[in-house]
């Protein structure tokens, strides 16, 4: 009997402590969580179900990545001379924007020291075969160094083709630095990494739990995909490295994605993004080429926009809001996920109400079921303002593309969801060049031709269980 009483007493004390911690954590959530809905959801959960909610809050509740921000600040101070030299080279190619882009240019300057630059060639690479062939050819021609960053690297046929290509260049004396995301590439084998390191390739994993203050912050991911060759050629976009991105995974079939091949000052801008991420992981400033090589064929104006949870403001969300709000005639967006926050959703609705041709292209089949269900919960919001929704039918669509009027187009890593806008480290390339915009329009028109226009009324015909799954998924939107 006494032992039973002791156990009961211990459980009672533990319950009081856990609920007390839950109340204190709820107060913390109210103070730091940005959205009122998110603060309310966390607060109620932490008070009502503290045993479950407290560990979840430790992992998913943080929206500030202070360790990364401090590392960037330290990098700027420690390497001030290098940074000054770098930006002075880039600023020589700073674009003088037409009047209608003046405000957009000013906004970009608030978010990044990397300006709109001239003297660029920005080329669309459509789908995996074209992208990976071009990347491997560029790697084979590298003379000085290779900087490669990817959210996912798979230990499969394509992954090993890249590994062997990198090893071959390392044997020729080319400096190679590889950065991968620890969560995105969690299945990457140790043998794969060991083989690279044995040949002198510097390999590092980006993880948000690097410091004590970020120990539980696994919610942040480095979603960027960047390849730099000798500071002269760059690649970026939506494609990770693996067989499935060539359409060789039976689950997805054909894989629809978009990447960019870039020359000119924008290469140095992308290079600086990679180097900041490398510094966060290794506290090391790499010696690279900062001499801009202008494109001999084109003079395209482009902006490299890196965003992430270390930003002082919600740069990604604010920049996309501005793009949506400036649309006058056309706003086409292709994204594998549609989980917009209220500000983005309202901006899309306002654009449609202004008479803008708003079209959103999503996959017809999911890769993440919860995110797929969540998109259906927005059908009523889209129907009310006659936003056009399309489901891509020719395989799985993973591209992240935005086209605004005939003014500007962007390609990169940002999905139309809260994770990309607030939690992930992302990067986009935007161009106001008419030829590039036309190529993006042609590409998206081809995608629309193999997409199915959705009758948004079909949502009302779904079963009660389907609607419940959609509504519950939408409740999870802040962390999807």
pLDDT at residue 202, as a whole number: 97
pTM summary value:
0.86
Contacts of 232 (CB under 8 A, 6+ apart): 263, 267, 289, 293
- Comparing 77-81, 167-171, 259-263, 322-326, the range with the smallest average pLDDT is 77-81
Helix (H) or strand (E) holding 87, with range, is: helix 80-91
In the chain, % of residues over pLDDT 90? 57
Residue 27: alpha-carbon gap to chain centroid: 30
Across-strand partners of 262?
122, 234
Cβ–Cβ < 8 Å for 367, 445: no
Q: Name the more confident of 388 and 423.
A: 388
The pLDDT confidence band at residue 38, using thresholds 50, 70 and 90, is: low
Higher-confidence residue of 23 and 65: namely 23
**What does each C-alpha distance from 437 to 189, 257, 291, 441 come to in angstroms?**
40, 17, 27, 6
Whole-angstrom distance, CA of residue 239 vs CA of residue 135:
11
Per-residue confidence (pLDDT) for residue 214, from 0 to 100: 47
Lowest mean pLDDT among 186-200, 276-290, 412-426: 276-290
Per-residue model confidence (pLDDT) at position 52: 67
Q: How many residues make up the chain in this entry?
A: 480
Mean pLDDT computed over every residue of the chain: 85
pLDDT at position 29: 65
Higher pLDDT, 426 or 31: 426
* 103 compared with 67, residue with greater pLDDT: 103
Report the alpha-carbon angle 38-67-281, nearest 5: 125
Q: Please check whether residue 33 is in contact with residue 63, taking contact to mean a CB–CB distance below 8 angstroms.
A: yes
Read off the pLDDT of residues 428-456 as tens digits, 9 standing for 90 and up.
Answer: 999 999 999 999 999 999 999 999 999 87
Q: Residues 182-202: what's their mean pLDDT?
A: 95
410 against 9, higher pLDDT: 410
| pLDDT tens per residue, range 356-373 | 999 999 998 877 777 777
Catalytic (active-site) positions: 223, 225, 230, 398, 400, 405
Q: What is the pLDDT of residues 310-358, one digit of tens each?
A: 788 899 999 999 999 999 999 999 999 998 988 999 999 999 999 999 9
Sign of CA dihedral 22, 28, 31, 36: negative
Between CA 105 and CA 339 the distance in angstroms is 27
Lowest mean pLDDT among 93-107, 278-292, 301-315: 278-292
Rounded CA separation 79/88 (Å): 14
Question: Between β-strands 145-150 and 424-431, what pairing exists: parallel, antiparallel or unpaired?
Answer: unpaired
What's the number of CA atoms in the CB half-sphere (13 Å) around residue 184? 24
């Amino acid at each position: 009997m006494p032992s039973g009483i002791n156990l009961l007493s211990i459980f009672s004390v533990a319950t009081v402590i856990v609920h007390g911690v839950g109340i204190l954590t709820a107060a913390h959530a109210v103070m730091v969580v940005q959205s009122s809905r998110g603060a309310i959801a966390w607060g109620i959960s932490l008070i009502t179900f503290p045993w479950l909610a407290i560990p979840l809050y430790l992992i998913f509740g943080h929206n500030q990545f202070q360790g990364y921000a401090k590392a960037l600040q330290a990098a700027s101070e420690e390497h001030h001379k290098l940074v000054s030299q770098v930006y002075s080279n880039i600023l020589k190619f700073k674009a003088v924007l037409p009047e209608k882009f003046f405000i957009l240019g000013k906004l970009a300057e608030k978010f990044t020291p990397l300006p709109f630059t001239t003297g660029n060639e920005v080329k669309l690479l459509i789908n995996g075969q074209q992208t990976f062939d071009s990347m491997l050819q560029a790697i084979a021609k590298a003379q000085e160094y290779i900087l490669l960053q990817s959210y996912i690297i798979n230990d499969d046929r394509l992954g090993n083709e890249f590994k062997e290509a990198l090893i071959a260049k390392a044997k020729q004396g080319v400096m190679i630095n590889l950065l991968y995301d620890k969560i995105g590439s969690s299945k990457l084998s140790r043998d794969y990494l060991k083989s690279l390191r044995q040949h002198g390739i510097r390999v590092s994993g980006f993880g948000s739990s690097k410091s004590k203050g970020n120990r539980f912050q696994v919610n942040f991911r480095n979603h960027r995909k960047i390849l730099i060759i000798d500071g002269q050629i760059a690649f970026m976009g939506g494609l990770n490295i693996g067989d499935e991105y060539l359409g060789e995974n039976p689950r997805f079939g054909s894989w629809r994605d978009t990447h960019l091949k870039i020359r000119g000052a924008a290469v140095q801008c992308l290079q600086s993004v990679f180097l900041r991420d490398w510094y966060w992981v290794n506290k090391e400033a790499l010696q690279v080429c900062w001499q801009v090589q202008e494109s001999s064929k084109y003079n395209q104006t482009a902006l490299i926009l890196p965003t992430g949870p270390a930003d002082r403001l919600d740069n990604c969300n604010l920049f996309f809001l501005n793009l949506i709000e400036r649309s006058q005639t056309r706003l086409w967006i292709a994204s594998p996920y549609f989980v917009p926050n209220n500000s983005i959703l309202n901006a899309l609705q306002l654009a449609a109400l202004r008479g803008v041709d708003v079209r959103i292209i999503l996959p017809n089949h999911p890769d993440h079921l919860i995110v797929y269900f969540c998109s259906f919960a927005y059908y009523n919001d889209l129907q009310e303002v006659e936003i056009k929704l399309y489901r891509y039918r020719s395989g799985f669509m993973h591209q992240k593309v935005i086209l605004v009027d005939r003014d500007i187009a962007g390609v990169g890593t940002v999905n139309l969801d809260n994770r990309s806008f607030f939690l992930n480290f992302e990067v986009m390339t935007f161009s106001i060049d008419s030829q590039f915009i036309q190529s993006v329009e042609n590409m998206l028109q081809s995608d629309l031709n193999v997409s199915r226009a959705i009758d948004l009324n079909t949502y009302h015909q779904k079963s009660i269980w389907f609607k419940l799954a959609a509504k519950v998924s939408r409740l999870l939107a802040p962390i999807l």
